[in-house]
Structure 1
Amino acid sequence: MQWEGISEFVYVAENESFTQASKKMAISTAQVSRQISALEKRLNIKLFYRTTRKVSLTEEGRVFYQHCRSVLDGLAEAERAITNLQSKPQGKIKLSAPVTYGEQQILPLLNDFMLQYRDVEITAYLSNQQVDLVEESYDLAIRLGKLSDSSMMAKKLSKRTNYVCASPKYLQQFGIPHTLSELTKHNCLLGTIDYWRFNESGKERNLRVNGRLRYNSGPGLVDAALKGLGIVQLPDYYVENYLQTGELISFLDNFRVADEGVWAVYPQNRHLSPKIRLLVDFLAKALV
């Protein structure tokens, strides 16, 4: 009795429509509506706001949805375990990743993963803003650097190295800085913050730098550095290829901060299903 209406509730919540839910469940809209009404009566709470245009979850409905989604996911995974389907993962995966790192590193690997596992559906949202994994129903997020949210579980996938570099043309004209204080004499290409991070005498130091260019775009900063406009500090995935070809030259390496982690992060209270675990392991192996 206590399970009645749960599936209908989750389908309506995810589709924001009684009609769409009924189509996907292959039952009548009236039946879906009856089950939801009975569920609300049993729980003595209102789960949805209903208008002629939209169906949306109430605050209580969002809380209930998170638990119901986890329960249904657990049941689905249990069924797959019984039918020996862990070796052939299927279903939806929703993840978030930073924009440039996601474009250059994660999305190509997701494509490889999907070629290998044909029954998996992936939605990836690229943003440099941290998403709320629980509130927005993400299975996992790829995050870079220090982790601040202790409520999340994390697995280290790889590491990133920060470089200070410039083009040979710029360095021939203005010289190579050998100390941090010399950076004040140079045009530093700025991103979204006006300081760079260094390790000085074993301690991390945030050094304020100046320049006549500021972009909130890593590729834009790389292009400026390649064209000799100044010095840039960026992670390896922006500049590594140019360092190898000699188009950019790294310096101040003895002041470089320690390598930072690349992490797969997921909610602490969410069961890590076989398909998610398989993807995390796949990424960790590929990003070494």
Structure 2
Amino acid sequence: MDWDKLRVFHAVAEAGSFTHAGEVLNLSQSAVSRQISALEESLNLPLFHRHARGLILTEQGELLYRTARDVFSKLAMTEALLTESRERAQGPLKITTTVAFGSLWLTPRIKDFLDLYPDIAVSLVLSDGELDLAMREADVAIRMTPPRQPDLVQRHLMTMKYTVFAAPDYVKAHGLPLTLADLDHHRIVVFGEDARVAPPLSNVNWLLDAGAPPDRPRRPVLEVNNIYGIYRAVKSGLGLGAMPDYMISAADDLIPVLPEIAGPTFDAYFVYPEELRHSKRITAFRDFLLEKIAEAY
């Protein structure tokens, strides 16, 4: 297969249209269309269903796309390794982690990392879903659960627990609960049914049950689908909420509530593909994380 045509096919499959692929490749829409038609003719197979709303891969197109995506991801990884300096870490580094951890803990520390390694171009992808590192959707991940893929390297970063917090305005208006039973008379912010909790917990809304009579469960004042939303609601003074340790640095104006409560614990991991084991960029970022964690905990 012609390499240039395969490159165009990959871009079209990624973009879903000739026009958008042309913008990525700096080619006209007609030039992209001609390349795809020529590739289909050489294979004697249709690769796309043409619709007014865009392009859909055929069964044969899906097969070729999976192979092309794998080839291009490996080429991108090889290119990054080849261009990395022997003397210093440099090149692109795409990092993914959860929305809350990335927003509240990691992003404020990225400046220090870039001050140390100005030749590394960092991009952050914050998502509560897991990106596929093996397919190079990101180079490294900070995850709140151990990786399930066997071809990923993992390094334990820290063990964290949940602590209950309240804003000063809330405490001024409602006081502080002194016992678990006192929680019956307080507003509590929890996860909602649509929450994608990272990490997943067996009893995600344990604060509603802690010390409560089985026949009189507490009712939350608000349900939110992620931990960052809980943080913002608590910070606004709406109610009490349980948050992980890593939020403490961002929640320096919040007041701990019943700190003796034993909330759920979970582990954070630094994860990356096996083929990046010897990358200086990966090593530099891993060591930076471990140093910052040692300072914070």
Bin of the TM-score, shorter chain as denominator length: 0.5 to 0.7
Q: Hey, what's the Cα distance between the residues in 1 that align with 2:33 and 2:250?
A: 59
Residue 161 (structure 2) aligns with = 161
Distance in 1 of aligned mates of 2:283 and 2:256: 38
* CA–CA distance in structure 2, aligned partners of residues 151 and 100 of structure 1: 24
1:222 equivalent to 2:224? Answer no
1:85-113 Cα offsets, whole Å, 9 max, x none, are: 475543573x5433232222333455665
Unaligned runs of 5+ in 1: 201-206
Partner of 1:32: 35
| Partner SS, residue 139 of structure 1 | coil
**Number of the residue aligned with 2:213:** none
CA RMSD of aligned residues (A): 4.6
Tell me if the contact between 1:189 and 1:231 (Cα under 8 Å) persists in the aligned partners.
Answer: yes
Q: 1:23 aligns with which of 26, 29, 32?
A: 26
Partner of 1:186: 186
User: TM-score w.r.t. structure 2 length?
Assistant: 0.62
In 2, Cα distance between equivalents of 1:119 and 1:31: 38
Closer, same or farther in 2 for the Cα pair 1:125/1:80, shift >3 Å? closer
Q: Give identity over the alignment, percent.
A: 18
Identify the match of residue 248 of structure 1 among 247, 255, 270: 255
Q: Distance in 2 between matches of 1:60 and 1:14?
A: 16
Listed as ranges, the matches of 1:8-157 within 5 Å are 8-15=8-15, 16-17=17-18, 19-20=22-23, 23=26, 29=32, 32-33=35-36, 36-37=39-40, 40-41=43-44, 46-51=46-51, 54-58=54-58, 60-78=60-78, 81=81, 85=85, 87=88, 89-91=90-92, 93=94, 96-109=96-109, 116-118=117-119, 120=121, 122=123, 124-128=124-128, 130-131=129-130, 133=132, 138-139=137-138, 142=141, 144-147=143-146, 150-151=148-149, 153=152, 154-157=154-157
1:57-83 per-position Cα deviation (integer Å, ceiling 9, x unaligned): 445534543433332343454456556
Q: Partners of 2:13 and 2:156 in 1: how far apart?
A: 33
CA offsets 1:170-214 (integer angstroms, 9 cap, x no match): 389655434x4553343323342682269x9xxxxxx96434344
What is the TM-score with the length of structure 1 in the denominator?
A: 0.63
Structure 2: which 5+ runs fail to align?
194-203, 211-215
CA distance in 1, matches of 2:109, 2:156: 16
SS of structure 1 residue aligned to 2:206? strand
Separation (CA, whole Å) in 1 of partners of 2:112 and 2:90: 14
Give per-residue Cα distances to partners, 1:217-266, cap 9 Å, x unaligned.
22333224xx4x543211234344545x5x513424252333x2233456
Amino acid of the residue matched to residue 133 of structure 1?
A: D
Q: 8 Å contact 1:222–1:239 — kept in the other structure?
A: no
1:231 pairs, out of 231, 237, 240, with: 240
2:230 alignment partner AA: G
8 Å contact from structure 1 (residues 109, 283) kept in 2: no
C-alpha separation between the residues in 2 aligned to 1:36 and 1:114?
43
Distance across 2 between alignment mates of 1:240 and 1:251? 19
Q: Distance in 2 between matches of 1:161 and 1:142?
A: 20
